[in-house]
């Protein structure tokens, strides 16, 4: 006969897998593994961002993942996993702000996405800076390109672009 602790552990694991699986299916968690922007609107807190993207200039050119995840498989799914965890945590607890704002890390991901798709333009702009001068962040002027002004974040608009290692570029 199995020991009591093994049975208890099996019950706990079964409970976690069962509840987690149910929540994953009920909350359409699988949709976040895809590239459909409608997944971002599963949570009513993101409806304004989705609706503004649908009316934006990027609607016909980019999905949420194109701007909000890195352009490599490992980075994309690492960011999706991290954001998915925190989005579901805040949504479940109701602890998200009424005015959803992008985090500093996610803003850096978005900045790199701008620079990836618009490299010819951003490289030319950066080349015009004096050596050692701070490069201007794309979102300094274009903070509402992917989302209309009403849904654009107003917090801590970056003045300069920072490298991932913290040194200013």
94-146: pLDDT as tens digits: 887 777 778 899 999 999 999 999 999 988 888 877 665 667 788 888 877 88
Name the 3-class secondary structure at 157: coil
Q: Can you read off the two tokens belonging to residue 16?
A: 């976690």
Give the distance from CA 154 to its chain's centroid: 16
Q: How far is CA 103 from CA 112, 132, 161, in A?
A: 14, 27, 15
Helical H runs in 42-128? Answer: 47-54, 64-68, 73-93, 104-117, 119-127
For 103, phi then psi, to 5°, come to -80, 165
Number of folded domains that form the chain: 1
Question: The domain containing residue 68 runs over which residues?
Answer: 34-151
Task: Compute the average pLDDT of residues 20-27.
Answer: 79
CATH, residue 86 = 1.10.3820.10
Q: Tell the residue number behind the tokens 């333009």, with chain if given.
A: 121
- The answer to whether residues 111 and 169 touch, using CB atoms and an 8 Å cutoff, is no
- Is position 64 within any domain? yes
Tell me, what's the pLDDT at 169? Answer: 39
Nearest to 110 by CA among 159, 155, 161: 161
- Is position 9 within any domain? no
pLDDT band for 152, please (50, 70, 90 cuts).
very low
Of residues 75 and 167, the one with the higher pLDDT is 75
CA atoms of 154 and 20, how far apart (whole Å): 35
């Amino acid at each position: 006969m199995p020991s009591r602790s093994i049975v208890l552990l099996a019950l706990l694991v079964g409970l976690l897998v069962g509840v987690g699986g149910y929540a994953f299916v009920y909350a359409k968690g699988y949709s976040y593994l895809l590239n459909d922007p409608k997944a971002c609107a599963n949570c009513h807190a993101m409806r304004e961002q989705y609706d503004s993207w649908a009316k934006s200039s990027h609607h016909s050119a980019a999905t949420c993942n194109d701007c909000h995840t890195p352009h490599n498989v490992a980075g994309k799914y690492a960011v999706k996993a991290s954001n998915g965890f925190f989005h579901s945590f805040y949504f479940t607890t109701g602890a998200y702000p009424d005015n959803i704002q992008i985090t500093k890390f996610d803003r850096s991901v978005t900045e790199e996405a701008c620079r990836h798709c618009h490299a010819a333009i951003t490289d030319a702009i950066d080349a015009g800076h004096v050596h050692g001068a701070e490069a201007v962040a794309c979102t300094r002027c274009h903070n509402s390109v992917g989302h209309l002004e009403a849904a654009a974040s107003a917090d801590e608009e970056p003045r300069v672009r920072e490298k991932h290692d913290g040194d200013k570029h």
